[in-house]
Structure 1
Amino acid sequence: MQLNDVYKYFDTKETGLTSEKAAGLLKKFGPNTIQRSQKQSQLKAFLKNFTSLMAILLWVSGFIAIFANMTELGIAIWAVNIINGVFSYWQEHQAQKATNSLLKMLPTYAQVIRDGKPQQINSEDLVPGDVFMIQAGNSISADARIIDSNSLQVDESALTGESVLVNKQPGYSHGVGRFAESNLVFAGTVAGSGTATAVAVATGMHSEFGKIAKLTQSQKHHSSPLEIELNHLTRQLSLIAISIGVLFFILAIFFVHYPIAKSFIFALGMIVAFIPEGLLPTVTLSLAQGVTRMAKKHALVKDLNSVETLGETTVICSDKTGTLTQNQMTVDHLWLASHQYTVSGEGYVNNGHIQLDDQDVDVSKDPGLQILLRVSALNNDTKVNPPEKSGDNPKIIGTPTEAALIILAEKAGINVEEETKKVPRIGALPFDSDRKRMSTFHKVDGKNTICVKGSLDGILPISDTILDNGKARPITDADRKQINEADKKYAADGLRSLAIAYRTPTDDSDMPADPKDWTIKNAEQHLTFVGLTIMSDPPRPEIFEAVRKCREASIRIIMVTGDSALTAKSIATKIGITGDKARVITGDELAAMHKGELKEALKGEVIFARVAPEQKYRIVSTLQSLGEIVASTGDGVNDAPALKKADIGVAMGVTGTDVAKDAANMILTDDNFASIVSAIEEGRTVYSNLQKFLLYILNSNMPEAAPSIIFLFTRGLVPLPLTVMQILTVDLGTDMLPALGLGAEKSEPGIMKQPPRARTAHLLNRGIIIKAFCWYGMIASVISTCAYFFVNKLNGWPNVALAASGHVYQEATTMTLAAIVFCQIAAAINCRTKLSSVFSIGLFSNHRIWGGIVFEVILLALLIYVPFLQGLFNTAAIGGREWLLLICIPIPLVLIEELRKYFFRKRAAN
């Protein structure tokens, strides 16, 4: 639209709206804010922790126990459920509280013209039709059409993912990619340099920023793989427990001839034995421990279940700028007619010597190099403040590209601040996208001088001479060919070139004597071509190792960026994400692809470049439809929908926008891609530890059930060697802390060299069932049953009938309970590793397990010797012989398991 048509459409003019009209528009369009999606109420968030499948099972179990006149048992089960629910809510509330932040990308105030005069208003009150001013460093409050501008450059990386500043001007040109219209600026972006006046055309949720936020908020919560798996596990265990309970209820009635009520209590004891009441609290605490460990590794997790999801990740869709790269331009090469340099060396200031081609070069001895550095420093609108402390990056006020030139000059010993004072600017021709160059006018040694920088095709055609060994000579066709070939070579490597030139007008030139009269037409011609500065946004140093680990772990990385195809492929190849033959798909190509084509493309090595926000979302959802567990990383507003859709959204904490952080499941506090790999390792460890925990708690099911089986098959001749309350003591008391210790176990060696677990794999698999019931459980069943008969033997059995009540019976059930506990001590040690020797990781290295072991022995002693607890749990004091037998139980069990692991390690090695 013509600017006058824009004014007419919004019923405004160059002098802005009236206050009265602005108030009416504010009522019509609403405040200029990003509305947050309706958050779940605190009450609903609290109650959801008591309505999972396992929680419901425990509520029902407690009710049945109370109904069967086992009030203490029912209350104990309910108490466990309540404690776990409160703890789960508290953990998630703390995580959410630590990461939630208000949207701060829109500035607090805007400078507008209302009633014909400049005013400062709250940005929330900005309306379509408002005319407002933009200055360097300002965040832009609304989508707007530019009225006039002076060298305005805008950082649109929050929307596009590109770190290069975009030139904006009143004249329209489409540009490349989304949000590239030259005469439009967008809410949430930042003015890097220059000034402008613009008329607002869209505010709040109607802006591009708001549309992306709305797309993000429209995503419904989907259950994490761990939630799905825990529900599946609960159904498995419930089916096993209830089936066994029903079977034993029938057998008790028809085989033992128990009364129905007594048979029901007996069956309930079997159900209690097979339902792991400690599963929920242990899983919650295990995940909470994972969250704590991740926080120490710079990964802040908002949702507990996201910890384990990371371990299942099969694909990472990663942004490029600021995630894989450092988001700061660096000069890598210098091209001069006399020499081509590779910039090397570290440091901010280098005292007149610069590291080129791994050599210490004295700049004063290369006049061509010196001129290139001085022109780069003078033709510059950016300010670079030195690092505040060692190891920090310089603070940049302006564009990364210009900052790279200043830092290069500073490294060579040129004090840019003093140089600009000594050679002040007396005029300028700002950069525009048509000319593709910028010129500044200076008085150098008493002579008027024009310093020029820009794209090669904007400077080479108007250059008549070339600087060669510090002296200007006529430029030849061979020179032009050589320069163009060099530029193409650098471009093929994904590098950006910036041409440098100058002009010192002679007295006989056709230029006016007064620089104030210099124009594009009379000043920007007959240039002396100095050379090329070649830049890159370098990869993060640690990214190479992180990518290698991902490859070992069979995790694919797919780059999804708003940057150019050439740059994207260069970076992806350089850091090892893809090979040279990887397919690059641009946003325009992606838009034309149907679903089947995209699915096929995603099966091979692929890179996505110049993509729009909804396209990144489409890539993630298509990968999920292929059965992949997708982690999506990003920092910009444009990344938010994909972050929300992904199985695990990972936002950057330092450079990330608040919208991205709000959409993500996890935030990297150091913006380090390598932290994702550490988090994935932690996620895999959490899952592995959950399986160890499951093995640990299930192996006690057999010795808990064995007494009932013996009772049943002897038709009641052998009284129940273990009561229901004693079974609950194992499940909720003695088992709990060692199980939590298993949740804190460190990664086993080689965990990141295994592929992600299949989506069809389950926590409770055949291997765990066999090991829990037929190995650990069977051995513990034999030992605990022998302990029961050991006490009866000491008291006259088999010459005396087995007691069904009284002190001897209590002592015998106590010994059964104690034997199970000491078998569990061995199991806690054995479950620490799957195949590795426990001695190889340090027998005493996990202090939490040993703390849990000490706790369960103390708890057992209290149950045995405190009179009140003796009556509640049907226990009795035992003597020294019994304790000696108990202490000896774990040693052979650990050694037998070590022998089994050794055998399987040898078999795996062969």
Structure 2
Amino acid sequence: MPSQKQSSDQLAQMPIDQFYQTVASSDNGLNANQVKTQEAKYGPNVITAAKGQNKLWQFLKNFTSLMAILLWVSGFIAIFAQMLELGIAIWAVNMINGLFSFWQENQAQKASDALKKMLPTKATVIRDGQSQQIDTAAIVPGDLLVISAGDSISADARVISSDSLQVDESALTGESDLTDKKADYHHGEGKFAEHNLVYAGTVASAGSAKVMAINTGMNTEFGQIAKLTQGQQSKPSPLEIELNRLTRQLSIIAISIGVAFFLAAIFFVHYPMAQSFIFALGMVVAFIPEGLLPTVTLSLAQGVQRMAKKHALVKNLNSVETLGETTVIASDKTGTLTQNQMTINNVWLPDKVYTVSGEGYVNNGQVMDGDQPVKAGKNAGLDLLLKAVTLNNDTAVKAANKPDGQPQIVGTPTEASLVILAQKYQLNSDELNAQNPRQKTLVFDSDRKRMSTINKNEKGQLTLYTKGALDGVLAKTKSILTNGQVRDITDNDVQQIQAANESYAKQGLRALAVAYRDLSDNESQDLSKATAENTEQNLTFVGLTIMADPPRPEIYAAVKKAHQAGIRIIMVTGDGPITGKSVAVKIGLVSNQARVVTGDELTNMSDDDLREAVKGEVLFARVAPEQKYRIVKANQANGEIVASTGDGVNDAPALKQADIGIAMGATGTDVAKEAADMILTDDNFASIIAAIEEGRTVYSNIQKFLLYILNSNVPEAFPSVLFLFSGGLIPLPLTVMQILTIDLGTDMLPALGLGSEKSEPGVMQEPPRSRKAHLLNKSIIWKAFALYGLVASLISSAAYFFVNYAYGWPKHALSASGSVYAEATTITLAAIVFCQIAAAMNARTKYTSVFKIGLFSNRHIITGIIFEIFLISLIIYVPFLQGVFNTHALGVAEWLFLIAIPIPLVLLEELRKWFVRKYFMKLSQ
């Protein structure tokens, strides 16, 4: 790859001969030898992706998290302590989870790769004076490229000659306004605004040109931004950080309990040290949630699948949960909040103002006079204006051939809006052009800000039709059409027109002026002499078309839902402050009192001032790419979890820096998609809000799993407490293998089922989770240990003593062997399992009644419950398993007792939730 980048600005200003000499080319393009030299010097014209992780490491990292390491160590200790079955079971859980995680991430990456649409594959070049098509990868500096309307531009290049070339640079600038390109150097306003330079990744929307490549591949502006994006280091997601913290917490708890039980076994029961160690290891295993990683992975994977159905492709599993924590969305305007489709919504005439219904390019509206549709022939000024913008137009609107009903636009968004306007007025543009054939075009020029065409009507008369910026048209206007009559324009007329224009501008709308003039016989005889200077004069002003880029229809509800969820949306746009604020206010993003910070203000703003600014109601306008990156960082410095949206190359650094980068799949550039964590396949902002809801659900489901899995730790440990503090007089009501049965057997499937629970009602009515909040919080600890766990401990211990009572206890001492002891431990184990059935149902919701969401609505939990009953039955009745797990067959009375356990536990929890909803939740509202 090349190591040197030629200075675009310097090359743009050079005299043409010096420029040819500098790039070692000519007006005939490169010859074969020059091409080889340039290829050797600069390499292929490709955007190189950042080097991905080594496949082996990508695989191994799924087995090296803190929780995974803890499980590896636990399994090793179990095997070392001659508990082979326990060690193998723990390692098997780790292996299954790691493989599952790797498979899910690999599938997500494959889907992401399928979305990539790199730079165009072919380009037309002139080499040795001959036109030929080559792969874009073969373009080198000095190549002479031929560009036509609709072509994508594959290299940074200087314009050699131009025939009304207009380029859509929105991929770089973020804005849909077209830029005029011509051979003469003029810098223009802002970055990428040189009139004689075009850039890779942009599109020629109108006209044609010959351009000479000056930078290719990673040396293009497109490539430089890609390099900046790739240089940023990836950082752990909030979920990864929280899981590591949770693992440390649980490790400390488990090891502390293990040490306490180890010492108690030695000093209270006088066990030998080796036996005490094995006993303590059982307690450690009991308090390590072996199913945590599988449940987290499954929750994330199912979130990914649900989001994919809602057109949101997540590239990394952990990004799902991060979405749920989002507090700020830094959003581009054009194409993200708006449709990126210019739409005429008013036609202003000196004697009348008409409204236009229907937004976007779908022809589903009408020109309206009040509440009545208007057709051709009703107003001379309106008829003439619509005729003028139809004839003075180079854009084609082809019939819709896509499911969304959007037609194909060949040309500029502004002219497309005029074509659609004519259709809404029921004008047939093909017939009108056939009746009024064009004789000459005075192409648009950014200096005079006008375009004119000369057309001949059925009588052979030539008429000049002009459209353009108001100031440029008014400067050449002599008369005005009003009430069907042409008269001299007055100062009062000019003031009225300018006042209307200013009024629309304050609403963020753009005005396009329309005028005409009938040519004289002398002018009509020789059109070769017709120039903009001698023809665009003494015009008759007709009116203004008022246009805007309309918001997406779904954006209103999405913004409202985001605000209800406590999420702020900050608009970051390259558009002007008036237009940006108008759109933001219209869609409910901000109020009229919101502060607008421009790019120039932002340049002079310190990081501290910016941090203060983003705390309030604010939007940013006229910003450069690196400034959007600053805005994201400022929010993060305030402790916000930031999602940043975008589709252009200019958005990539901010997408990479954000906690969640969200790229547009349909219109997004390749660099933006590479930098993003999530890709919207439908470019629908509302999909972001749906994805955030899924993210919150994933986090909630992980907490539900924790509640469920930790509550069984108490009844697992309680029998050992009885054993220790009785000095061994109460034999262990639960053996280590029976504890393993609960942790890795009966508990696993219902726990995984909780990971697939759907969103609980009201999840988007709560504020985002605080950065100080943690997965293992006080509420979970209280419910798991003091409520669910304690109740299950009392029930299972009572079952143990009841069986012993039936066989003569307390008259006869409790035995640590024999059939009575086996039956007593069996019913203790079974009672914990049936308490867990109730716990699975109770953990499905935080506040909502489980009957409201449907007792059997989660088939994964129902399947898990059926499986755990089946498994415990096998352990109880299969002779071989009875020997392994020290169990004994139970009778009908015992089974009736077990089956009855979940019913009161579920009903009591329903009563508690009702009490919380009725009193505590009302108080908090």
TM-score (norm 2): 0.96
Contact 1:345–1:355 under 8 Å retained in 2: no
How far off its partner does 1:122 sit?
1.7
1:579 equivalent in structure 2: 591
Deviations 1:524-576 (A, max 9, x none): 11111111001000001111111111111111111111222221111111111
Instruction: Report matched runs for 1:477-488 at 5 Å.
Output: 477-488=491-502
Residue identity opposite 2:506 in structure 1: A
Measured in 1, the distance between the counterparts of 2:48 and 2:366 equals: 54
* Matched positions, count: 908
1:455 equivalent in structure 2: 469
How far off its partner does 1:512 sit?
5.8
Pick aligned residue for 1:519 from 521, 531, 535: 531
Measured in 1, the distance between the counterparts of 2:468 and 2:69 equals: 68
Pick aligned residue for 2:303 from 263, 284, 290: 290
How far off its partner does 1:353 sit?
6.7
Distance 1:242 1:630, change over 3 A: same
Instruction: Report matched runs for 1:557-596 at 5 Å.
Output: 557-596=569-608
Gaps of 5+ in 1: none
Residue identity opposite 1:471 in structure 2: Q
Contact 2:175–2:574 under 8 Å retained in 1: yes
Pick aligned residue for 1:339 from 323, 338, 352: 352
2:101 equivalent in structure 1: 88
1:380 equivalent in structure 2: 393
**SS in structure 2 of the partner of residue 36 of structure 1:** coil
Contact 2:438–2:456 under 8 Å retained in 1: yes
Deviations 1:141-186 (A, max 9, x none): 1111111101111111111111121111112222232211111100
How far off its partner does 1:605 sit?
1.7
**SS in structure 2 of the partner of residue 894 of structure 1:** helix
Contact 1:144–1:202 under 8 Å retained in 2: yes
Contact 1:352–1:414 under 8 Å retained in 2: no
Pick aligned residue for 2:489 from 475, 481, 495: 475
Contact 1:684–1:751 under 8 Å retained in 2: yes
How far off its partner does 1:903 sit?
2.2
How far off its partner does 1:35 sit?
0.7
Distance 1:350 1:715, change over 3 A: closer
1:750 equivalent in structure 2: 762
Distance 1:861 1:889, change over 3 A: same
Instruction: Report matched runs for 1:359-370 at 5 Å.
Output: 359-370=372-383
1:114 paired with 2:140, answer: no
Gaps of 5+ in 2: 1-12
How far off its partner does 1:348 sit?
8.0
Instruction: Report matched runs for 1:291-310 at 5 Å.
Output: 291-310=304-323
* Segment drifting more, 397-406 vs 592-601: 592-601
Residue identity opposite 2:216 in structure 1: T
1:722 paired with 2:734, answer: yes
**SS in structure 2 of the partner of residue 502 of structure 1:** strand
Deviations 1:303-346 (A, max 9, x none): 11111101110100001011100111110110111101111258
1:251 equivalent in structure 2: 264
**SS in structure 2 of the partner of residue 533 of structure 1:** strand
Residue identity opposite 1:166 in structure 2: T
Measured in 1, the distance between the counterparts of 2:875 and 2:670 equals: 53
Residue identity opposite 2:131 in structure 1: P
**SS in structure 1 of the partner of residue 257 of structure 2:** helix
Contact 2:339–2:360 under 8 Å retained in 1: no
2:81 equivalent in structure 1: 68
1:241 equivalent in structure 2: 254
1:277 equivalent in structure 2: 290
Distance 1:512 1:655, change over 3 A: same
Contact 1:344–1:358 under 8 Å retained in 2: no
**SS in structure 1 of the partner of residue 850 of structure 2:** coil
Deviations 1:111-149 (A, max 9, x none): 222222222222112111222111111110111111110
Pick aligned residue for 2:858 from 839, 842, 846: 846
Contact 1:350–1:413 under 8 Å retained in 2: no
How far off its partner does 1:757 sit?
1.0
1:690 equivalent in structure 2: 702
Instruction: Report matched runs for 1:322-471 at 5 Å.
Output: 322-344=335-357, 354-388=367-401, 392-445=405-458, 446-471=460-485
Measured in 1, the distance between the counterparts of 2:317 and 2:103 equals: 11
How far off its partner does 1:699 sit?
0.3
1:225 equivalent in structure 2: 238
* Segment drifting more, 258-267 vs 127-136: 127-136
1:546 equivalent in structure 2: 558
Pick aligned residue for 1:653 from 665, 676, 691: 665
Residue identity opposite 1:475 in structure 2: I
Residue identity opposite 1:193 in structure 2: A
Residue identity opposite 2:453 in structure 1: T
**SS in structure 1 of the partner of residue 671 of structure 2:** helix
Deviations 1:753-810 (A, max 9, x none): 2111111110001121111101100000011111112222222222332221232222
* Segment drifting more, 766-775 vs 360-369: 360-369
Contact 1:452–1:500 under 8 Å retained in 2: yes
1:775 equivalent in structure 2: 787
1:877 paired with 2:889, answer: yes
Instruction: Report matched runs for 1:138-217 at 5 Å.
Output: 138-217=151-230
Deviations 1:84-106 (A, max 9, x none): 00001101111111112485342
Aligned-residue RMSD, C-alpha? 1.7
Contact 1:494–1:536 under 8 Å retained in 2: yes
Distance 1:346 1:273, change over 3 A: closer
**SS in structure 1 of the partner of residue 451 of structure 2:** strand
Residue identity opposite 1:771 in structure 2: K
Identity of aligned residues (%): 67
2:55 equivalent in structure 1: 42
Measured in 2, the distance between the counterparts of 1:190 and 1:772 equals: 60
1:265 equivalent in structure 2: 278
Residue identity opposite 2:229 in structure 1: T
Pick aligned residue for 1:821 from 833, 840, 844: 833
Residue identity opposite 1:842 in structure 2: G
Residue identity opposite 2:904 in structure 1: P
Contact 1:103–1:659 under 8 Å retained in 2: no
* Segment drifting more, 653-662 vs 458-467: 653-662
Measured in 1, the distance between the counterparts of 2:29 and 2:597 equals: 44
Contact 1:561–1:610 under 8 Å retained in 2: yes
1:788 paired with 2:818, answer: no
2:647 equivalent in structure 1: 635
Contact 1:174–1:181 under 8 Å retained in 2: yes
Distance 1:589 1:735, change over 3 A: same
Contact 1:105–1:139 under 8 Å retained in 2: no
Deviations 1:806-863 (A, max 9, x none): 3222222111111001000111111111122222222222222222111111111111
**SS in structure 2 of the partner of residue 839 of structure 1:** helix
How far off its partner does 1:670 sit?
1.5
Deviations 1:378-404 (A, max 9, x none): 111110012236851121111111011
Contact 1:345–1:358 under 8 Å retained in 2: no
How far off its partner does 1:349 sit?
9.3
1:736 equivalent in structure 2: 748
Contact 2:715–2:790 under 8 Å retained in 1: yes
Contact 2:344–2:418 under 8 Å retained in 1: yes
**SS in structure 2 of the partner of residue 138 of structure 1:** coil
TM-score (norm 1): 0.98
Contact 1:429–1:439 under 8 Å retained in 2: yes
**SS in structure 2 of the partner of residue 293 of structure 1:** helix
2:5 equivalent in structure 1: none
Contact 2:747–2:868 under 8 Å retained in 1: yes
Measured in 1, the distance between the counterparts of 2:141 and 2:360 equals: 48
